[in-house]
Chains A and B, each alone.
Chain A
Amino acid sequence: MDYDLLDSLSDEALVQEIQCGKLDAFGILYRRYHNEVHYRVLMIVDKPEDAQDIAQDTFWKVYQQLPTLRLECKFRSWLLTIAKNYSIDHWRRLGRDKSFLQSLDSEFVEWEDKASSPEESVIGDEQLKDALQQLKPQLREIVSLHMQGYTFEEIALRLRLRVGSVRTYLSDARRKLRQTFPSRRRVLKKDPISNGLKHNE
């Protein structure tokens, strides 16, 4: 099944695909919802880094439960419920006002019924766009050609570089783009595994 066909499937069908061993389907689900989850959590927590952590915690849990999951409700509702629970845990850990938690509950219920708007889905794109602009023109060009399907050899021929150099430049460029992520910025200072994040539940 190709990517376009996978992308056209419903969430529940994608879950079935994952359970049948079509692991690429998780990528579709992630792309479909990570912006929304991040955005929803960002509305509640103060720091973007915390929101990113909670969103990642949410998907990590989803990822681990998917192979054996028996969906009894919509996937999106289930996903947002997990995000909600992590957000509540976060608030409790910070010892914030409990009355806020009640309003949070109702707000999360609304999430589950609302589809994300197009504006919300551009979260992250601006940062990536900036990061891309900051790349050297040659690196940008290599990324562009690579995304258009050119092989390393073809890029090397076009840009008159060595194949090894193309590989190195592309690797540098993609790693620089990864620095855009808040969690990644912290990783530079701290080991990701031992940075106090909540791991596998």
Chain B
Amino acid sequence: MSQSCDEWEDKLATTCVNQLSPTESEALHLHMQTCRACFNMYTEYLVIDGYLQRSFADKPVPSVVPKSKLTTSTCSSQDRVAEWSFLKSWQHWLQDPSWLLVGIATLLGSLSFALNQTISPAPGANAILALSLILAPIGGMLFFRAISSSPLNTHGVRLAVIAGLSPEKIGATADARKTISATHVEEYVPLVLETEKRKRSVWQSNRSQPKRAWMSLRVMFTLLLVLLAAGASSLGVLLRPSTSRNMAALSTGSIVFDGGRQDAKLKLQAAQALAKGNVAEAENLWKQAVLVDSGDAEAWIYLEDQQVLDTHQPYITLVIGTILSKGYVSGGRDDLQGAYMAQKQWNEQAKRSGKMLLRLLIAAGSDETSPAAVAQQVVQAARQDQTIKGVLGWPTSSSAAATIPILAAAHLPMVSPTASSDTLTGSPYFFRITPSNKDQGIVAATYVQQVMHASRIVLFVDPHDLYSKNLYDGFSSHFTGNGYTLIKEQYQVGQPASLPNLVAQALQAKPDLIFFAGYASDVSVILKTLPTCSPAQKQCPLVMGGDALYLPGEYSVTALANYSLLRFTSSVYPGLAGASGNQETLFQQTYAKDFDPNKQYQAGTYGYNQTEAHTILSYEGVQVLLHASQVLLSSGKIHFSPDDLQYALKQIDRSRPVQGVRGPIAFEPDGNNAYGRVVVLAGKEGGGVHRVYP
């Protein structure tokens, strides 16, 4: 992007400095290296924006419009004009008071039906529920018109006022305009802008008549009906073809889970468009979203899902159960990226050969929604939507432990890409790609004893976290003999504030190694706390952990300065499982093509053109689910059940493995991956890893 000084001046005159896109920002900085005038202009706008932010926003202008703002802005004058036009269009043929009875009957009937359906929902009843909710506002309008005495009386004008329109604009009569009191305007028009305040003052000068008490009652009742109508209309999302769209934790676009990306605003707008039934606009917004942030698999999945629906071809649905809340955002994004790659690949082939297409349903919930609650919704959705066949997930041991019994009870098979706790096995509906903690513990202990020769080890463990506790047990059980000093430090997963003090205590014991049984977001704090030094310096103990530490996106820049002190076990590393190099290279190339199609990012940028371990595991998880589905479809079972899929997954054993990215994948009778080999990787200063054992 090469722009002249004038173009930059125009750009910055209408754009806050920190709202420039990364490409624009980079181009501007490049330009400023040789242009003093633009540098001066840039710094002046920095000062201006800083002041304006303190004055108006009280914080830096967000790159994404906050949800509340979006809600306000989407309820814009244009929308209100449209709504008003709709209301007004009904009035000409609804003047007959006999419609009153019809209106009341329709209103009460539809509301009671809706209530019944909400309390005791019947499978497949959503269309009727939606219809009833649409009839409710119509009923309200019938009632409203029946009690009105003129085509556009005082109530109509009040509605217009509430909608933010001037009485003149909607063609109200003079009498009607006069009855608009200042009280109403102040009460119902919560507008603060100066221009609108001025308009209000003009309106106030028109008032002349006092209200009658009974009129107030009528107004209140009318308002109640309008509110009911608005509420029911907002539930138009029920008209979407998927029955699972109304689930708070499941989404094919109607919910945005990953709100921390550059394209979050576009995804939110798409979700709102979808809720209004405007599929074309939603699709267009998702296309814009992936242009803004090509690494956002959530947007890619929504777009692909919509394209699947648009073809009107038969499809199967897999649920991606993951976590996109603080502390695991990076892992959740990897899960979605891997799943999307598999979906895209499958659908490209399916479209060519006329096979069943694949739709993905993201099940993540909000920060407050537990995986168990999300799993309950998956079960509910699967009962209503026969296309749902199985689940990829959940990614962590704790979340998998919470969801296995729920999904197993509903006979839904799940393939977890990364949950590694040994205690997860036992359910016939649970399968996993990653090796168990026991396998990781053996390799880690061997490395520590035979390569590092460490004897004094501080172990960080959260006894209440399944993964942490299990990994700790798997590792420490190999240090029972004499000659080893193990010091246990308890911490709490997801509470990094206490870690610096614990590290200080640990360092006093002068350990050879800190074994951290936990997650990347927490160990990042430990690396940040340790003094910066190379592994060769004795005063810096190495830090070691399990495969959950292999999430480069969770490490801060300051933590990466000590990344060379980190060791962790992993089942993902080039050439690890004997796969041909071609497959890994092909996967890497496809990844870069999918998530950095325009080559906007520097080579080696994680999340765009450099794959992360969890992405590969997630891809392989979907791959085995699809392989099992393909086996069933090839055998003529077009409408196979989740139970059929579970049976087909069981058939993927050592004699019939699936070729994954890293090599063969096959399941033991307990659901573990029979080919789950483990290595020890070491971090490089500033990022990147290399294999150190075996």
Contact = CB atoms under 8 A, between A and B. Distances in A.
A167 B11 CA distance: 10
A63 B69 contact: no
Contacts of A24: 18, 25
A147 B29 contact: no
Given A3-B18, A147-B57, A26 B29 contact: yes
Contacts of A100: none
Q: Interface range on chain B: under 10, 10 to 19, 20 to 34, or 35 or more?
A: 35 or more
B16 A199 contact: no
Given A128-B48, A149-B66, A177-B48, A144 B43 contact: no
Given A149-B62, A157-B78, A171-B13, A192 B40 contact: yes
Contact of B48 (A4, A145, A178): A178
A174 interface: yes
Interface string A75-90: 0000000000000000
Contacts, number: 138
Interface stretch (A12-20, A40-48, A111-119): A12-20
A138 B557 CA distance: 43
A138 B10 CA distance: 20
9 contacts: A140-B194, A147-B16, A147-B53, A148-B57, A149-B66, A150-B65, A150-B73, A159-B193, A171-B14
Contact of B60 (A4, A143, A151, A193): A4
Given A16-B558, A158-B193, 13 more contacts: A13-B557, A60-B36, A146-B16, A147-B49, A147-B52, A147-B57, A148-B57, A154-B73, A158-B76, A160-B195, A181-B44, A193-B37, A200-B36
A72 interface: no
A128 B50 CA distance: 11
Contacts of B32: 63
A170 B14 contact: yes
B33 A157 contact: no
A31 B61 CA distance: 14
A175 B43 contact: no
A137 B194 contact: yes
B17 A192 contact: no
Nearest to A18: B29
B687 to A, nearest CB: 10
Given A17-B557, A34-B47, A192-B40, A151 B10 contact: no
A110 interface: no
A64 B32 CA distance: 9
Interface in B74-96: 76-78
A175 B73 contact: no
B63 interface: yes
B8 interface: no
A17 B194 CA distance: 42
B60 to A, nearest CB: 4
Nearest to A64: B33
A187 B134 CA distance: 62
Interface in B1-51: 10, 12-14, 16-18, 25-26, 29, 32-33, 36-37, 39-41, 43-51
A59, A137, A147, A157 interface centre (most CB from chain B within 10 Å):
A147
B314 interface: no
A159 B195 contact: yes
| Main secondary structure on A side of the interface with B | helix
Given A13-B557, A125-B51, A128-B51, A2 B56 contact: no
Nearest to B36: A199
A132 interface: yes
B482 interface: no
Contacts of B33: 63-64
B634 interface: no
Contacts of B98: none
A148 B33 CA distance: 31
A38 to B, nearest CB: 10
B55 interface: yes
A143 B557 contact: no
B495 interface: no
B494 interface: no
B55 A148 contact: no
A148 B56 contact: yes
A80 B55 CA distance: 28
B124 interface: no
Nearest to A13: B558
Nearest to B50: A31
A20 B13 CA distance: 28
A141 B55 contact: no
A167 B15 CA distance: 10
A172 B557 CA distance: 39
A157 B65 contact: no
A100 B519 CA distance: 58
A175 B602 CA distance: 35
A151 B73 contact: yes
Contacts of B171: none
